[in-house]
Amino acid sequence: MQIRQKEEPATFWQPYKEDVERIIHSKAFKRYSDKTQVVYLVENDHLTHRGHHVQLVSSFSRGLAKLLGLDVDLVEAISLGHDVGHPPFGHEGEGYLSEICKERGLGAYSHSSQSCRLLSVIEPLNLCFFVYDGFLCHDGGMRKPISTPVSKTWQDHFREIESRKSEPEKDLAPASLEGCLVKMCDSVSYIAKDIEDAISLGIIQRHDVPTTILGTHNFEIIQKAAKDLVENSKEGIGFSEEVFHALKKLRAFNFERIYIHPALKRESAKIKSAYRQLYDLVFDDYTKNGTHSRLHKNFLHSKSKEYLESTEDARKVVDYIAGMTDRYFISAIEQYVIPQTIVVK
């Protein structure tokens, strides 16, 4: 199987190390720092944002990759790029954007698919096959205790991306053990760290966390899950039944007590409305003003001829909004609806 879709001359780096370099120098990677993980619009520098999350996943999975004899560079590349497709305001924003996409005939929005699209079509990095596959298949780690790789081709990869439009929550098996490892480490990382963030905000107390064999502290959960994963990863990557059920119990607690907590959702109605308003404003502006629109000036002006000619207008707007940071999203809608200073030449 061809390691990259478009063949390239060899560089100083090994292929997966080269991909790590391409990802961390990309524009998409730089935007992680103002992307929501769980908590948005809260002034607290110690809360986990998307950039911190991917670093946690990378550190966790690289350490385990060394113990398991896997390719550390491949694990790092998948970890660092797997969430670039998240739109503003995290999974909540993803749901709002997905509704808009389906209404406009684009199919459901999936951040895992968008991660592939962002670093292959919008900002074409020509990464290796296993890296894109790891992006696409990274979610769903708590569906079953063991993740086992399956053989795939580039054609299989493109079919799986297309399938996300109708089945965005479908659990896809990675094509590599490294992809399986990141898939499981991603779940452990957010389950454990989200508990700590919620405690620091005061929306739960330590004694509220369910009692399991993993404990109730971030480091304790991470360490015990890591030990269990190493001991139970034979043909695939995963956990014993006991640890898997403990992780699922903690994850269910997070959904019940953290992710939908009223204190964190006070602005949800406004964000949902803002998504629809911004999409319509950007689309109408582009339809009327073309190369003089904000979409062109702020996004399309730097895109390739291939992207401009092959991408329908509705998708261009989605790509633009999906790539925004939380702060830029708010600024963008303000530019459309709040009167701006007029400069007379």
Determine if the pTM surpasses 0.85.
Answer: yes
Q: What is the mean pLDDT of the segment spanning 230-251?
A: 97
HSE of 245, CA atoms in CB hemisphere, 13 A: 6
**pLDDT at residue 2, rounded to an integer:** 65
Residue 151 lies in a domain: yes
Q: State how far the Cα of 197 lies from the Cα of 83, in Å rounded to an integer.
A: 19
Q: What is the mean pLDDT of the segment spanning 282-309?
A: 97
Among 264, 286, 301, identify where a domain stops: 264
Residue 240 lies in a domain: yes
Task: Report in angstroms the alpha-carbon separations of 157 from 5, 38, 110, 207.
Answer: 11, 29, 15, 44
Q: State how far the Cα of 272 lies from the Cα of 98, in Å rounded to an integer.
A: 11
Angle of helix 326-337 versus helix 268-289 axis, rounded to 10: 60
**pLDDT at residue 170, rounded to an integer:** 93
SS3 36: strand
Residue 277 has pLDDT above 80, yes or no: yes
Residues 103 and 128 in one domain: yes
CATH code of the domain in which 207 resides: 1.10.3210.10
Residues 332 and 222 in one domain: no
Residues 201 and 309 in one domain: no
**pLDDT at residue 47, rounded to an integer:** 83
Q: What is the mean pLDDT of the segment spanning 175-191?
A: 98
Residue 5 lies in a domain: no
Residue 9 lies in a domain: no
Confidence grade of residue 327 (pLDDT, cut at 50, 70, 90): very high
What confidence tens digit (pLDDT) does each residue in 79-93 have? 999 999 999 999 999
Mean pLDDT is lowest, of 42-46, 70-74, 211-215, for: 42-46
Confidence grade of residue 302 (pLDDT, cut at 50, 70, 90): very high
**pLDDT at residue 235, rounded to an integer:** 86
Residues 209 and 277 in one domain: no
Q: What is the mean pLDDT of the segment spanning 300-327?
A: 97
Q: What is the mean pLDDT of the segment spanning 5-26?
A: 93
Residues 195 and 73 in one domain: yes
% residues pLDDT > 90 (the chain): 89
Residues 199 and 244 in one domain: yes
Residues 118 and 132 in one domain: yes
Residue 110 lies in a domain: yes
Structural domains of the chain, count = 2
Residue 342 lies in a domain: no
Residue 231 has pLDDT above 90, yes or no: yes
% residues pLDDT > 70 (the chain): 99
Cα dihedral 5/6/11/16 (nearest 10): -10
According to the 3-state scheme, what is the secondary structure of 213-232? Answer: CCCCCHHHHHHHHHHHHHHH
DSSP string spanning 155-224?
HHHHHHHHHTTT-TT-----SSHHHHHHHHHHHHHHHHHHHHHHHHHTSS-GGGSPP-TT-SSHHHHHHH
Q: State how far the Cα of 78 lies from the Cα of 132, in Å rounded to an integer.
A: 8
| Class of residue 121 by CB neighbours under 10 A (exposed 0-12, middle 13-18, buried 19+) | middle
What confidence tens digit (pLDDT) does each residue in 129-143 have? 999 999 999 999 999
**pLDDT at residue 1, rounded to an integer:** 55
Q: Which helix (H) or strand (E) holds 146?
A: strand 146-147
Q: What is the mean pLDDT of the segment spanning 238-256?
A: 98
What confidence tens digit (pLDDT) does each residue in 135-164 have? 999 999 999 999 999 999 999 999 999 999
Task: Report in angstroms the alpha-carbon separations of 210 from 199, 213, 270.
Answer: 13, 10, 33
Residues near 107 by beta carbon (within 8 Å), at least 6 away in sequence: 101, 164, 165, 166
Residues 134 and 26 in one domain: yes
Structural domain for 273, as ranges: 268-337
Residue 193 has pLDDT above 90, yes or no: yes
**pLDDT at residue 33, rounded to an integer:** 87
Q: State how far the Cα of 138 lies from the Cα of 159, in Å rounded to an integer.
A: 16
Sign, CA dihedral 97-87-109-296, equals positive
In this predicted model, which residue has the larger pLDDT, 64 or 47?
A: 64
Among 264, 281, 300, identify where a domain stops: 264
Confidence grade of residue 9 (pLDDT, cut at 50, 70, 90): confident
Output the six-digit token pair for 124. 């074409």
Residues 234 and 104 in one domain: yes
Among 218, 240, 264, identify where a domain stops: 264
Task: Report in angstroms the alpha-carbon separations of 131 from 122, 137, 152, 344.
Answer: 16, 10, 13, 50
Q: What is the mean pLDDT of the segment spanning 40-46?
A: 82
Residues 283 and 213 in one domain: no
DSSP state of 128: B
**Mean predicted lDDT score pLDDT of the chain:** 95
Residues 216 and 67 in one domain: yes
Confidence grade of residue 37 (pLDDT, cut at 50, 70, 90): confident
Residues 218 and 188 in one domain: yes
Residue 10 lies in a domain: no
Residue 295 lies in a domain: yes
